[in-house]
């Protein structure tokens, strides 16, 4: 068995079982990849791929199993290379972050900026996806860190680092009747059409559960994956917006009133996740430290009510 062969196997699967395309990605000719697979199958004594004539159509059961282990082999060889890179030159490299729109737009910017100042020669990549996708991307080593709130707790093959906590706020156009209330409670919220996040995003799960427990049926008039969309329709007076508190920017959103709702909903924990056992390069550890430090500073500086350190 050779690492090359495993590399070909994984790339082939990621190229929809198209040998030609896999070969391109690997900067090799088709025949080489083909041979890798054939030799691997020969050595193991199992067909890893199902074929119709000569067309490869998919993985066999054995292929699925081998693929999983092959992925981990490659991940670990990647870790070994990273140990080397860190000793040769620990100030440059790539940092691939997978995260949701909310984090990328409202939380990461100051952190990323500072990180870039500390490590100007590290190339930063921000990949945007849904929490569920992010879990897969972290596991398949398509990103170094997955940063989000959902789906990360108790994930068996991921190490997760809690980075900060946040809660929700309600936004509404100035003069909206909700804003006249002294203290906002759940029934008050449910008296108006609500615009909030799509299921699976940004604390939507707990939001639904709390309202359901209270026996309330909110009138959710529109949902979106990103806060910008929500704000847009709140401005259009389609309803009140329930958003993550850190997504309210006082300057830019001066035309929207905002009220904290921390007393109504549980605090959400945003986590940084990476594959269990992954070797963290110096700058990767630095990023995690920076994340926590920045949140702590921001909270104490801006007195933001809907956000707090872990």
Partner DNA sequence: CGTTCTTACGTGTGTCGTAACGATC
Partner DNA sequence: GATCGTTACGACACACGTAAGAACG
Residues that bind DNA (CB under 7 A): 2, 4, 17-20, 27-32, 34-39, 51-56
Q: Give the binding range for a second copy (CB under 8 A) out of 19-27, 72-80, 102-110, 131-139.
A: 72-80
Interactions with a second copy, residue window 130-149 (CB under 8 A): none
To the nearest whole angstrom, how small is the minimum distance from the Cβ of residue 212 to DNA? 48
Q: Tell me whether residue 46 or residue 210 sits nearer to DNA (CB atom).
A: 46
Stretch 258-287: interaction string toward a second copy, x if CB under 8 A? -------------------x-x--------
Q: Which alpha helices (DSSP H) does the chain contain, by range? A: 3-14, 19-25, 30-44, 61-88, 101-102, 108-118, 131-139, 186-189, 204-213, 227-235, 282-302
- Please tell me whether residue 208 adopts helix, strand or coil conformation: helix
Tell me the site size for a second copy, rule CB under 8 A. Answer: 29
Q: Which residue in 16, 38, 51, 81 binds a second copy (CB under 8 A)?
A: 81
Residues 74 and 10 sit within 8 Å (Cβ to Cβ): yes
CA atoms within 13 A on the CB side of 236: 12
Residues 123 and 95 sit within 8 Å (Cβ to Cβ): yes
Give the separation between CA 260 and CA 168, rounded to whole angstroms: 7
76 binds, among DNA, a second copy, none (CB under 5 to 8 A by kind): a second copy
> Hey, what long-range contacts does 54-58 have (CB within 8 A, 24 or more apart)?
56/12, 56/17, 56/18, 56/19, 57/17, 58/17
72 binds, among DNA, a second copy, none (CB under 5 to 8 A by kind): a second copy
Stretch 147-186: interaction string toward a second copy, x if CB under 8 A? ----------x-----------------------------
Stretch 40-59: interaction string toward a second copy, x if CB under 8 A? ---xxxx-------------
Q: Tell me whether residue 50 or residue 73 sits nearer to a second copy (CB atom).
A: 73
Pick the closest to residue 109 from 267, 284, 290, 271 (CA basis). 290
Longest dimension (CA), the chain: 75
Residue 264 to residues 75, 139, 234: CA-CA distances in angstroms?
43, 34, 21
Residues that bind a second copy (CB under 8 A): 1-3, 6, 43-46, 62, 65-66, 68-70, 72-73, 76-77, 79-81, 83-85, 87-88, 157, 277, 279
């Amino acid at each position: 068995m050779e690492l090359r062969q495993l590399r070909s196997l994984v790339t082939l699967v990621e190229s929809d079982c198209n040998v030609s395309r896999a070969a391109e990605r690997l900067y090799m000719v088709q025949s080489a990849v083909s041979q890798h697979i054939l030799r691997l199958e020969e050595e193991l004594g199992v067909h890893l791929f199902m074929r119709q004539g000569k067309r490869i159509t998919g993985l066999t059961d054995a292929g699925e199993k081998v693929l999983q282990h092959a992925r981990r082999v490659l991940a670990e060889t990647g870790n070994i290379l990273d140990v080397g890179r860190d000793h040769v030159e620990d100030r440059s490299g790539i940092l691939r972050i997978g995260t949701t729109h909310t984090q990328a737009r409202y939380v990461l910017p100051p952190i990323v900026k500072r990180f870039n100042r500390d490590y100007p020669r590290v190339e930063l990549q921000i990949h945007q996806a849904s929490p569920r996708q992010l879990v897969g991307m972290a596991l398949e080593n398509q990103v170094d860190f997955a940063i989000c709130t959902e789906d990360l707790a108790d994930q068996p093959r991921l190490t997760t680092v809690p980075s900060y906590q946040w809660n929700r706020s309600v936004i509404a156009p100035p003069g909206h009747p909700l804003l006249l209330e002294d203290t906002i409670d759940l029934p008050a919220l449910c008296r108006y059409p609500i615009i909030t996040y799509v299921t699976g995003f940004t604390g939507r799960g707990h939001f639904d559960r709390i309202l359901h427990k209270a026996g309330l049926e909110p009138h959710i008039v529109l949902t979106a994956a990103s806060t910008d969309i929500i704000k847009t329709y709140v401005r259009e007076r389609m309803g009140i917006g329930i958003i993550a508190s850190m997504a309210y920017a006082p300057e830019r959103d001066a035309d929207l009133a905002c009220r904290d709702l921390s007393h109504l909903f549980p605090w959400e924990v945003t986590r940084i996740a990476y594959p269990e056992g992954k070797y963290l390069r110096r700058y990767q550890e630095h990023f995690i430290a920076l994340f926590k430090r920045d949140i702590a500073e921001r909270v104490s500086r801006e007195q933001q009510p809907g956000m707090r350190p872990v």
